[in-house]
Amino acid sequence: MKNKIIYLVCFIAILAGGVYLLLQYNTGISGDETISCQSQNTVIHDDFRLNANYVFTLSKNKGEISISGLATEGEKQYQISRAIYFSYNKSDSIYVLQSHNIENFSPDESQGSNVNHHLPAFFYEPEKNLTIKIQEDRYHNKIISLYNIPIFYCRDK
Q: Could you tell me the residue ranges of all domains in the chain? A: 1-28, 35-156
Assign 110 a pLDDT band (cuts: 50, 70, 90): confident
- For residue 18, pLDDT beyond 50: no
Confidence band for 147, pLDDT divided at 50, 70 and 90: confident
Q: Which residues, in sequence order, are bridge partners of residue 44?
A: 49
pLDDT computed for residue 131 by the predictor = 97
- Please provide residue 108's backbone torsions phi and psi, each rounded to the nearest 5 degrees: -70, 120
- What integer best gives the mean pLDDT of the chain? 84
The number of angstroms, rounded, from the C-alpha of 141 to the middle of its chain's C-alpha atoms is 11
Q: CATH for 35-156, among 2.40.128, 1.20.120, 3.30.1890, 3.40.1800?
A: 2.40.128
Tally of CA atoms within 13 A in the half-sphere of 110 that contains its CB: 26
18: left (phi over 0), alpha (psi -120 to 50) or beta: alpha
d(CA 39, CA 102): 19
